[in-house]
């Protein structure tokens, strides 16, 4: 789902309307005082120098988001490689479940904290990386080349979503957000039901529970679309945050939100490709 840091913060949720030049409600007032403003600006410049940048005033910038995202996602990747290479087969399943549970707990803690915690976010990245490394090793043992295919598909989807957002081919409207949020909640509920089916009625519908066969392919495709919609919502909320001048610490929130969505997208591609290969 969309990053809860952003949706719960008024600065991220609201943006200043971009009025065409001359059509702002304040345009007439500005025209009347523009000469005075220019004179004052010249005097201010001579006394105080150039205006402070966003970085100097402690506001979040796109560069901050890029750096923090690279750090968090890079940690996930390194932890995944380490767990894949170093965890012995006899310990693989206990460590896998430990990483999954710890990642889930830290993910929920980070999601509902009012202030971002870099330590907890990095802890989540390590736990999630350990889980991803071991679950990827399981998939790779059964389907050769599937992990690299899922990685490529994830980053191609990321790039496509970014282009669609930046070119405004896809716009995040209120209707778009409602559809994405409600559909994601419904999908999460389905996943819980399917997990119950797999645990308490293994083999009743297939190895993937209710997600086996053609039904599994359809649900997998829907899940990829939902993850992509959430990714576009993340981009939109980050842009709003930068525009509205939120504190730089929320760059950690942006990194956490993007990481969660990318992990979800990668896992969906893994499962979808596995179902395709099995069929």
Instruction: Report residue 156 as tokens.
Output: 């191609």
Closest CA to 185 of 135, 229, 128: 229
pLDDT per 10-residue tile (average), the chain, 279 residues? 54 49 42 47 46 63 94 97 95 94 94 91 97 95 93 96 94 92 92 81 68 84 95 94 92 95 95 83
Return the pLDDT at 210: 76
Return the pLDDT at 196: 82
Return the pLDDT at 183: 94
Show Cβ contacts of residue 102 under 8 Å, excluding neighbours closer than 6 positions.
Answer: 123, 127
Return the pLDDT at 146: 95
Q: Furthest-apart CA pair in the chain: how many Å?
A: 79
Closest CA to 266 of 146, 101, 154: 154
In sequence order, what are the beta bridge partners of 103? none
CA 266 from chain center: how many Å?
12
Return the pLDDT at 57: 61
Return the pLDDT at 25: 43
Whole-angstrom distance, CA of residue 28 vs CA of residue 3: 39
Return the pLDDT at 275: 86
Return the pLDDT at 213: 77
Query: What is this structure's pTM?
Result: 0.80
Whole-angstrom distance, CA of residue 224 vs CA of residue 232: 12
């Amino acid at each position: 789902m969309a990053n809860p840091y952003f949706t719960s913060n008024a600065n991220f949720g609201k943006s200043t309307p971009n009025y065409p030049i001359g059509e702002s409600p304040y345009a007439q007032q500005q025209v009347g005082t523009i000469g005075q403003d220019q004179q004052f600006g010249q005097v201010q410049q001579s006394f105080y120098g150039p205006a402070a940048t966003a970085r100097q005033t402690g506001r979040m910038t796109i560069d901050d988001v890029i750096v923090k995202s690279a750090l968090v996602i890079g940690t996930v990747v390194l932890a995944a490689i380490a767990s894949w290479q170093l965890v012995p087969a006899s310990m693989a399943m206990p460590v896998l479940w430990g990483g999954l549970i710890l990642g889930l707990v830290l993910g929920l803690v980070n999601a509902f904290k009012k202030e971002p915690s870099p330590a907890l976010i990095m802890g989540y990245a390590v736990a999630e990386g350990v889980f991803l490394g071991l679950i990827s090793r399981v998939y790779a043992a059964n389907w050769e080349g599937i992990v690299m295919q899922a990685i490529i598909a994830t980053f191609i989807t990321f790039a496509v979503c970014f282009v669609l957002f930046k070119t405004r081919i896809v716009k995040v409207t209120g209707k778009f957000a409602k559809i994405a949020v409600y559909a994601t909640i419904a999908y999460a509920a389905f996943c819980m039901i399917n997990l119950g089916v797999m645990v308490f009625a293994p083999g009743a519908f297939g190895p993937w529970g209710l997600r086996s066969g053609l039904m599994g392919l359809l649900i997998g495709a829907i899940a990829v679309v939902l993850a992509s919609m959430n990714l576009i919502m993340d981009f939109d909320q980050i842009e709003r945050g930068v525009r509205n001048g939120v504190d730089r610490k929320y760059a950690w929130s942006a990194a956490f939100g993007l990481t969660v969505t990318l992990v979800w997208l990668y896992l969906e591609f893994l499962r979808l490709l596995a179902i395709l290969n099995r069929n």
